[in-house]
Copies of this chain bind each other. A is one copy, B any other.
Amino acid sequence: MNKVVASIITIGDELLIGQVIDTNSAWMAQELNKYGIWVAHRVAVGDVWEDIWQALDEESRRSSIILITGGLGPTADDITKPLLNKYFGGKMIVDQKALDNVRWIFERVLKRPMIDRNLRQAEVPDSCTVIQNKRGTAPGMWFEREGRIFVSMPGVPHEMKGMMADDILPTLRERFQLPYIAHRTLLTAGIGESFLAEHIKTFEEALPASIKLAYLPNYGMVRLRLTIRAEAPRIPAEAAAGSAISDAATQTPVTEAETLIQQQFDTLRGLVTEWMVTDEDISLQEAIGRLLKTHGKTLGTAESCTGGYIAHLITSIPGSSHYYKGSVVSYANEVKTHCLGVSPDTLAAHGAVSEETVREMVRGALAGLDTDYAIATSGIMGPDGGTPDKPVGMVWIAVGNRQNILAQKFSFRFDRLRNIELTATNALNQLRKFILSTPQ
């Protein structure tokens, strides 16, 4: 069985001048990987006829599946559709279903009159199979030539994702006999990448050839990922269930590859237990959410320097309202006093960025938000506001419950946003350790 290889082409000047960050490619790659389709190449080109044409030529020499996003909007800088019409030869026709969809969106969702330009969204090359867009006006287009599949989708993330999930991925799975690919991921904190590598060197060197280990450092944490690729095709039902656990539960045969990667992952997990945050491919805030749910406890936050970012991370997880009660973002000192009960004397004597203040903030959050646990942060995120005593990047973090509060000082040395992110990560990890060390 041959390896099924895909390329992703993203189209748009906004990607090449850097006005927009491409998040679509990462999502598409994740989804394709789940089904054993390997993305070998990702390329971004501008709204330039020759460049798009050349990218189509090059990627079709490289891959059997070419996924294209962008350039399908109703404005003059969007040239993907006429280009594909010319590339695959044919003429433009109106697709009735797409036209009904555009009408429906304007009448029912947008409640605005439609203009000629919108109607043209329903025109497609007669050389393609139309993929209906349930979330927007631009239809997707599926072309085939010389055994290659080309799919053009809108660049709007939720429209692209819906089309991929509803139509494109299911069809690709039917069309190709796909290999088995699996990832096992764990997240560590508190150890640098090179020390981790040294620590698991013998393990890494002894890994079978079919398994690859990757180090993914981010926000002061390192994610370790094992990937196995085997020729054994996966049974569709298994792929849909998507995990080794459910495979076992439903008694379907677990392939040799699954056993092998699980064994290696168990060994790896044993080696890094000390620093392990979670052995699933989830975020720190998700891991904390599970901990709190398991113990039936609640959390509140009192954020100065992180300015609501910790609250945002926690509340971005569905169902977080079951354990998260809220935050007092006390950017001004008077809010620290009025809403969290931090004593004006403490602020005068030690300043807002001090151990004493974050301890009082934790107490204020526990009482005011009425929670079992609380986190407090106060620091100088930059670029301004630093002093010789308290330079930019200096942060106090405290976590605690009604019995005990732990405070710790950190020094970060990055830009404002990264300092905020690192403070949030460290605060969440400190809370995680605190919960684990607390008798429940």
Decide if A344 is an interface residue (CB 8 Å cutoff): no
Q: In the bound complex, how far is the Cα of B19 from the Cα of A33, in angstroms?
A: 11
Decide if A20 is an interface residue (CB 8 Å cutoff): yes
Decide if A148 is an interface residue (CB 8 Å cutoff): no
Decide if A233 is an interface residue (CB 8 Å cutoff): no
Task: Evaluate contact between A75 and B194: CB separation under 8 angstroms.
Answer: yes
Decide if A41 is an interface residue (CB 8 Å cutoff): yes
Decide if A118 is an interface residue (CB 8 Å cutoff): yes
Decide if A197 is an interface residue (CB 8 Å cutoff): yes
Question: A339 touches which one: B13, B74, B326 (CB < 8 A)?
Answer: B326
With A332-B326, A383-B318 as known contacts, state yes or no: A370 contacts B338, CB within 8 Å: yes
A binding-site residues for B, Cβ under 8 Å: 13-23, 25-31, 33, 38-48, 51, 58, 73-77, 109-110, 112, 115, 117-118, 156-158, 183, 192-195, 197-198, 204, 212-218, 223, 225, 227, 301, 303, 307-312, 314-316, 318-321, 324-332, 334-335, 338-339, 368-370, 382-385, 413-418, 420
Question: A40 touches which one: B28, B51, B316 (CB < 8 A)?
Answer: B51
Q: In the bound complex, how far is the Cα of B322 from the Cα of A331, in angstroms?
A: 10
Q: In the bound complex, how far is the Cα of B368 from the Cα of A375, in angstroms?
A: 21
Task: Evaluate contact between B193 and A74: CB separation under 8 angstroms.
Answer: yes
Closest B residue to A327 using CB positions: B329
Q: In the bound complex, how far is the Cα of B212 from the Cα of A13, in angstroms?
A: 10
Residues of B contacting A215 with CB < 8 Å? Answer: 73, 75, 77
Give this chain's copy count: 2
Task: Evaluate contact between B192 and A110: CB separation under 8 angstroms.
Answer: yes
With A42-B44, A192-B112, A309-B312 as known contacts, state yes or no: A339 contacts B339, CB within 8 Å: yes
- Smallest CB separation, A26 vs chain B (Å): 4
With A73-B193, A326-B332, A329-B311 as known contacts, state yes or no: A29 contacts B16, CB within 8 Å: yes
Give the most central of A31, A112, A330, A369: most B CB within 10 Å: A369
- Smallest CB separation, A115 vs chain B (Å): 5
Task: Evaluate contact between B19 and A30: CB separation under 8 angstroms.
Answer: yes
Task: Evaluate contact between B334 and A370: CB separation under 8 angstroms.
Answer: yes
Q: In the bound complex, how far is the Cα of B194 from the Cα of A216, in angstroms?
A: 41
Residues of B contacting A193 with CB < 8 Å? Answer: 73-75
With A15-B26, A42-B15 as known contacts, state yes or no: A369 contacts B339, CB within 8 Å: yes
Residues of B contacting A25 with CB < 8 Å? Answer: 15, 18, 22, 44
Q: In the bound complex, how far is the Cα of B113 from the Cα of A428, in angstroms?
A: 27
Task: Evaluate contact between B383 and A368: CB separation under 8 angstroms.
Answer: no
Task: Evaluate contact between A115 and B198: CB separation under 8 angstroms.
Answer: yes
Task: Evaluate contact between B332 and A321: CB separation under 8 angstroms.
Answer: yes
Q: In the bound complex, how far is the Cα of B216 from the Cα of A15, in angstroms?
A: 10
Closest B residue to A200 using CB positions: B75
Task: Evaluate contact between A14 and B216: CB separation under 8 angstroms.
Answer: yes
Task: Evaluate contact between B51 and A223: CB separation under 8 angstroms.
Answer: no
Question: A22 touches which one: B22, B118, B194, B312 (CB < 8 A)?
Answer: B22
Q: In the bound complex, how far is the Cα of B320 from the Cα of A417, in angstroms?
A: 13
- Smallest CB separation, A54 vs chain B (Å): 9
Task: Evaluate contact between B45 and A44: CB separation under 8 angstroms.
Answer: no
Task: Evaluate contact between B46 and A29: CB separation under 8 angstroms.
Answer: no
Q: In the bound complex, how far is the Cα of B300 from the Cα of A331, in angstroms?
A: 10
Closest B residue to A113 using CB positions: B195
A-B contact list, 25 entries, CB within 8 Å: A13-B212, A13-B214, A15-B29, A18-B28, A18-B39, A20-B218, A25-B44, A40-B46, A41-B43, A41-B45, A74-B194, A75-B197, A76-B213, A77-B212, A117-B198, A118-B194, A308-B315, A308-B327, A308-B329, A311-B311, A318-B416, A321-B385, A325-B332, A326-B328, A328-B328
Q: In the bound complex, how far is the Cα of B13 from the Cα of A328, in angstroms?
A: 40
- Smallest CB separation, A80 vs chain B (Å): 14
Residues of B contacting A45 with CB < 8 Å? Answer: 40-41
- Smallest CB separation, A372 vs chain B (Å): 13
Q: In the bound complex, how far is the Cα of B27 from the Cα of A74, in angstroms?
A: 27
Give the most central of A215, A223, A311, A414: most B CB within 10 Å: A311
With A40-B16, A215-B77, A309-B308 as known contacts, state yes or no: A195 contacts B331, CB within 8 Å: no
